[in-house]
Amino acid sequence: MDKSNIPGSQSINVNVSESLYLALQKRCRESGETMDHLVQEALAKSLGVEHHTLYQISTSAALVQGVYQGCVNVGTIKTHGDFGLGTYDSLDGEGMMLDGHVYQALGDGSVIEPADSASAPFWVSAEFEADRSVTIDSVDSWEDLCSHIDSLRRSENLFTAIRIDGVFDEIHYRVACKSAPGTDLVTATSHQAEFKLNNIPGTLLGFWSPTYARTFNIPGYHLHLLSGDHLHGGHVLGIHAKNLKLQVMDANNLTMALPESPSFLKADLSGDPAAALEKAEGAQAK
């Protein structure tokens, strides 16, 4: 691809060995990433240049339509970062990836580490390297937490990866329950399990996505909890806490892998899913 006319980009011609070229082609086929992206990512790592990328599986619009069939396994997800969140086949719980380990919060409140063969219909992951960090003295609501994160975000047009560590005085969260294929997201999450914990050490992890991303990602803040003992976790709805360590990473690249399942290929994804996402996510989208 010639990027010579794209602001901030330069085009280079480089001769590579046939083995490298074949390896690049193979990775592109397996991951859905472009050759441009793979080469830039490799160069960035080699030269120590920040090049933060989000790897996403499927779209939020597909979830809204009830396309929950797993399309990428956990083992593959682990090759695209050490941090992230998502859900599992048939919307069976909430997914968290922290420090390279993947977890599954189930509807009964338990958390397991799923096998690499377990599959996900939607996931967003990254190699987390904080660009900025701060200590938050006090948080007395979800909205208050969002305002603190807002102060560290650089732009309304970049994605932001977020990690928050500390002891939560009170944390309110929910876990999606397994649903039949084709059940729309609002209906599927109308009977989700909700939990509250007090004085629990742990980590909140997730992303802020721009409004323009609403047809393929979840706009606004989307955070999951993983307790320090890895026994509790889920989608965060409310919070009270003190002395939290907040870290954010700007993400200026997005790679998306789309399913080729019959349900995805036949789904009508032309509508705006924003209202359904806001309702399904607990009306927390900002």
Question: Looking at residue 128, which CATH number applies to its domain?
Answer: 3.30.1330.80
Does any domain span residue 7?
A: no
DSSP tally for the chain: helices H, then strands E: 8, 14
Tens digits of residue pLDDT in 14-30? 888 988 889 888 888 87
Question: What's the domain range around 26?
Answer: 15-49
Residues 82 and 172 grouped into a single domain: yes
Residues 184 and 69 grouped into a single domain: yes
Residues 270 and 165 grouped into a single domain: yes
Residue 14: per-residue pLDDT: 84
| pTM, to two decimals | 0.81
Residue 39: per-residue pLDDT: 81
Q: Are 161 and 259 in contact (CB under 8 A)?
A: no
Low-confidence ranges of the chain (pLDDT < 70): 1-10, 31-34, 37, 44, 47-51, 282-286
Residues 148 and 81 grouped into a single domain: yes
Amino acid at 134: V
Q: Which residues contact 179 (CB under 8 A, 6 or more apart)?
A: 66, 68, 90, 91, 187, 188
Does any domain span residue 248?
A: yes
Does any domain span residue 3?
A: no
Number of structural domains (the chain) is 2
Q: Are 95 and 88 in contact (CB under 8 A)?
A: yes
Residues 120 and 104 grouped into a single domain: yes
Residues 63 and 140 grouped into a single domain: yes
Residue 1: per-residue pLDDT: 38
Is residue 80 classed as helix, strand or coil in its secondary structure?
Answer: helix
Return phi, psi of residue 278, to 5°. -60, -40
**Residue 95, beta-bridge partner list:** 86, 104
Residues 40 and 101 grouped into a single domain: no
Residue 4: per-residue pLDDT: 41
Tens digits of residue pLDDT in 118-175? 999 999 999 999 999 999 999 999 999 999 999 999 999 999 999 999 999 999 999 9
Does any domain span residue 5?
A: no
CA Rg, the chain, in Å?
Answer: 19
Does any domain span residue 64?
A: yes
Return phi, psi of residue 60, to 5°. -65, -35
Residue 206: per-residue pLDDT: 98
Residues 130 and 197 grouped into a single domain: yes
Query: Which two structure tokens, joined as six digits, stand for 160?
Result: 């932001």
What CA–CA distance (Å, rounded) separates 252 from 81?
15
Residues 28 and 60 grouped into a single domain: no
Q: Are 176 and 87 in contact (CB under 8 A)?
A: yes
Residues 230 and 284 grouped into a single domain: yes
Residue 37: per-residue pLDDT: 66
Residues 120 and 248 grouped into a single domain: yes
List Cα–Cα distances, 94 to 105, 108, 236, in angstroms. Answer: 5, 12, 11
Residues 264 and 220 grouped into a single domain: yes
DSSP alpha helices (H): ranges in the chain?
18-31, 35-47, 60-64, 74-77, 142-150, 185-188, 262-266, 274-280
